[in-house]
Structure 1
Amino acid sequence: MSQRYSPLSLSCNSLRTQRRRRVSPPSASAARYHDYIRFQTGGGVGRIPLLSPNFIGLVNSRGNRAYQQDFYGFATLSLNPHELQHTLRTKLNYDWDPSGLPEFITSQVHFIGLYDGHGGSTASQFSRQEFHALFENAHPSHIPDLYEWIKELGGYFSKRLRPQPLLPWLQDPNSKAVFDLEARATTAFFEVDRGLSGEKEARVSGATASIALLQTLDKPAPPFFAAENVALTVAHVGDTSVAVCATDGGVTPMTTKHHPGTPLESTRLRRVMGSGLVTDSFGEARWMGVLENTRSLGDFKYKPFGVTPEPEVREKLLKGSECSHIVLTSDGISSLVSHEEVNDLVRFSPTPAEGAKRVLAFAESVGSEDNATVIVIPLLGWGKPQGRDATKELRDYKIDQAASRRRM
């Protein structure tokens, strides 16, 4: 968003009200998520905390802003193995055989979320607290009622929106279609938005969000950072970023920015809403003259004009030995630092934590003043970089240019 507002915090009473309003189906299980990874060992079962300082690299900076609007969340979810098996078969053409594995392994999916607030921290804080639970407990029986709420948003949502992944249950609430990860993610993003709808601050504030889901496919099942076969699913709205980084320096972006000037979003919005794209005095595209992100959580003032929480969902089968890491960044990083620069800064670092720190330090050295978050998730190829640091000269040049501007 192009505007900044004073910091806003969630009302505890309002959160409790939203929790009371949320109705789970009789078949929904109690929450089983936790904050550690379980894996098979020669002698039984091992556990590693997701936020172990020697595991995932994480930095989170306020920058020069008056308050922090970037938040993040980690959890290990327990999902239906049949749902996971179907997703792997239909989306990745991968036949996963869970037989012989313990139930806690076949249902285990690791959830990493990055939430970048704008106009206040209401939506990003709510996402940090609630998103993983809503994701785990999403259920097809929620969809008809959820869709009735969606239509009440009016405008764009009453004219067109029928989220494609949810169509089987909109056409027949008793559909026997498999509730795959794309349908689950779509339901969860709308559930988060519905949870936010009772917050008055969410009328003029919101958050972009990127969710990375990791599932180990090896037998026996090591932790995903030691596995050769890993399934990655990314669900995303806005301009937070997820990328898979190879040991040889290659990068595969898993997200695209949902800005009004991009072909995907301009086509979506013009088809239903007609004109609304405005270019500001700096040459930047803004929807309705205000909005930088055309998909987000919250921002209810702009929902009738097409600002949707419907995520873009992508899947990828990873060969762990060929991949160094996955990196998530907020736009305080990605607006100034390319995927390739991030990859080189991280893959030549001794630890994921040091890699995340190096990315933040570089972004600040070339002018980042925004809230900034970097999350580095190591994979089997971690610590085995190939080739040279191809972006070093460009990074040095950008640092010199930034220093020159500061001296002027």
Structure 2
Amino acid sequence: MIGSPAKRVSVQAWTLADQYLYIILSRPRYYSSKYIVPDDIRPTKRREFHDYFVTHLPSSSLHPDPRGPLTPFHKLPRSASVPHTGEISHSPTAFQPLVDRDTTVVRIPLRSAKHHFGAHSSRGTRPYNEDAYQAGVIDLPSFAKRPPASLTIRRTGANPAPRESRGADTASGDPQVFYFGIFDGHGGTECSTFLKDWLHEYIQDTAAAFELQSSLRQDRSGHFPRGAEPSSGALPIVQGGNSKRIEELEKILVQNWKTLVGGYFKRFVPAHFSHSGKDLTVEGDAGKGVTIEEILEYAFLRTDLEFVSAQAAKRDDDFMKVGQPMHQDDILYGPNHTRSLNIGGVNRFKGGSTASVALISTPTPMPFWHPNAPSSLLVSHVGDTRILLCSTETGQAIPVTSNHHPSSPVEASRLRRYAATFVTDSFGEERMSGLANTRSFGDVQSKRIGVSAEPEIHRIEMGPAEYSFLVLMSDGVSGTLLDQEVVDIVKEARTPDQGARDVVSFATEVTREGDNATCLVVRLGGWERRLEGGLGSLGTKESREWRRQEATDPRRSRR
């Protein structure tokens, strides 16, 4: 019997190696007293994730607010009605209640909001689809820059601003933070499905464990987070957090990787992440806090650790541990919290998955797709899934991510320092241990030589209507179409949902590989002006028509 008196685990049927593996992977506090984690830092309440967003809509004119006046202004003919703009050109007494009428809070599922979000996926010519995606509202404090004073001053004596386009606040009082993710599995769907279901949970729980504070609120000393001012651009936003606890948890995570994998992770420096808020200085004063970039890096590595640990612990003849969560009593979950997960299936899963995640935070309750709303976009990326922005002014495709392939100079330099070898296949593409990606989740057998889930993180401050839309796609799309072709196809669509379908349809029509293809399109403030910049969608129209004709040519198979 091993473990604390409050929670004991029977190991009579285990071998000594199994006992050691259980102690090392599932209870890190046993192998080193230096990394003991106090029980009081573990969150006891699960964070919430919703696949819908909450907004305010005006009370229907057909069903007026019963608390309002009983005048029959809602029964007027349509020609005499007043549009729901909050502004009235004429002011008869009967119409005055329309100006400040009550609004209704409505839940709108993102997958049903075709004018705001669209997603489509196809398995191509593969036996099954290994891609997955997720979209919703994540329970996370705001990380946006504070709005200018001109947007927050309340003018007395004037009519109140219209509330039709105002999103509802979260329980913490911050505007909603939106989450979009795309995951491209290889070797099976186990890893991509796990990321779809649980990666956002790890991000939420990491923010709670680090005690992340909002970037829009003052700290206990009455100061706003450094870098959160609208005019600030020199430093990342350092939000409130427990620096001592953060450093302790990061050391535990790095130590767990060294113990489990070794190899590449033995050279993982520093012991805590380099872009931590505690390492930043302003005018000689050491910073205290955490950046949202550090939250995402920790969450990605923590998610990968749990998945890899679960695969490493699986044995065909060991039915006691098959499907059990290896870290049910670890940092992010309390001792009484057990997740009923069968991580990676019953047998050991040797495949993996790429991941690209986009978080959007706004400084005001106005939603990010409103033409007058500024917002902050945070992209965390691993592998060769791809994220694009479309510039409203120029109409150009702006890549936000880069492919983590052996052909990338950054990745090649990183891995050659650890004696990694590359092989060129018959198609002229470089591979490492048979993998096309140098960063990914899972891939247990390649973790030792440097394949990791360390994310590439970018933050973009988006001005009002600066970008028209955001595109997330798997390599079944990006490997077939050019970035500008993808953007131009979306420009011609009436809704983001139609744009996602058109991109996948065109990619599967002209492809020569038949890979899984998935595309997500997110509407931004400049959506209505998406055809105004540059040449609109005409820049690649001829080349796209030529590619379609070539793909549908019946003589194509003879070449």
After TM superposition, give the deviation of residue 38 of structure 1 in Å: 2.9
After TM superposition, give the deviation of residue 103 of structure 1 in Å: 5.4
1:264 pairs with 2:410: yes
After TM superposition, give the deviation of residue 27 of structure 1 in Å: 5.0
* Aligned counterparts of 2:404 and 2:148: Cα–Cα separation in 1: 33
Could you say which residue in structure 2 is the equivalent of 1:38? 54
Could you say which residue in structure 2 is the equivalent of 1:48? 108
- What SS does the aligned partner of 1:66 have? coil
Q: Runs of 4 or more off by more than 6 Å in structure 1?
A: 20-24, 94-101
Superposed, 1:6-405 pairs within 5 Å as 25-26=41-42, 29-39=45-55, 43-44=102-103, 45-54=105-114, 55-81=116-142, 84=143, 88=145, 104=171, 106=174, 108-138=176-206, 139-140=209-210, 141=245, 142-152=249-259, 153-162=261-270, 165=273, 168=276, 177-197=288-308, 198-199=310-311, 204-217=350-363, 219=364, 221-226=365-370, 227-247=372-392, 248-271=394-417, 273-288=418-433, 290-367=434-511, 368-384=513-529, 385-386=531-532, 387-388=535-536, 389-402=538-551, 403=553, 404-405=555-556
CA contact (8 A) 1:78 1:107 kept: no
CA displacement, residues 338-389 of structure 1 (integer Å, 9 cap, x when unaligned): 1100100001111111111111111112125111100000112113211332
Which of structures 1 and 2 has the larger relative contact order (alpha carbons within 8 angstroms, sep 6+)?
1
* Aligned counterparts of 2:153 and 2:258: Cα–Cα separation in 1: 42
After TM superposition, give the deviation of residue 166 of structure 1 in Å: 5.5
* Aligned counterparts of 1:71 and 1:48: Cα–Cα separation in 2: 21
* CA RMSD between the two structures: 3.0
TM-score, scaled relative to structure 2? 0.62
- What SS does the aligned partner of 1:257 have? coil
Flag the 1:170–1:154 CA change in 2: closer, same or farther, 3 A: farther
Letter in 2 for 1:50: L
CA contact (8 A) 2:133 2:183 kept: yes
Flag the 1:37–1:30 CA change in 2: closer, same or farther, 3 A: same
After TM superposition, give the deviation of residue 48 of structure 1 in Å: 2.6
CA contact (8 A) 2:250 2:271 kept: no
Letter in 1 for 2:53: I
CA displacement, residues 248-285 of structure 1 (integer Å, 9 cap, x when unaligned): 421211100000111110011112x1351221122111
After TM superposition, give the deviation of residue 99 of structure 1 in Å: 11
- What SS does the aligned partner of 1:252 have? strand
After TM superposition, give the deviation of residue 163 of structure 1 in Å: 7.5
CA displacement, residues 317-343 of structure 1 (integer Å, 9 cap, x when unaligned): 113423211000000000010110010
* Aligned counterparts of 2:539 and 2:271: Cα–Cα separation in 1: 42
Flag the structure with higher strand content. 1
Flag the 1:159–1:255 CA change in 2: closer, same or farther, 3 A: same
CA contact (8 A) 1:59 1:360 kept: yes
Return 225-234 or 108-117, whichever deviates more: 225-234
- What SS does the aligned partner of 1:303 have? helix
* Aligned counterparts of 2:349 and 2:256: Cα–Cα separation in 1: 16
Letter in 1 for 2:197: Q
- What SS does the aligned partner of 2:369 have? helix
* Aligned counterparts of 1:224 and 1:163: Cα–Cα separation in 2: 37
Return 304-313 or 48-57, whichever deviates more: 48-57
* Aligned counterparts of 2:356 and 2:256: Cα–Cα separation in 1: 23
TM-score, scaled relative to structure 1? 0.83
Could you say which residue in structure 2 is the equivalent of 1:14? none
* Aligned counterparts of 1:357 and 1:331: Cα–Cα separation in 2: 16
Unmatched tracts of structure 1, length 5 or more: 1-19
Flag the 1:339–1:301 CA change in 2: closer, same or farther, 3 A: same
- What SS does the aligned partner of 2:389 have? strand
* Aligned counterparts of 1:111 and 1:32: Cα–Cα separation in 2: 12
Letter in 1 for 2:268: R
CA contact (8 A) 2:276 2:294 kept: no
Flag the 1:163–1:313 CA change in 2: closer, same or farther, 3 A: farther
* Aligned counterparts of 1:149 and 1:176: Cα–Cα separation in 2: 27
- What SS does the aligned partner of 2:378 have? strand
Flag the 1:126–1:369 CA change in 2: closer, same or farther, 3 A: same
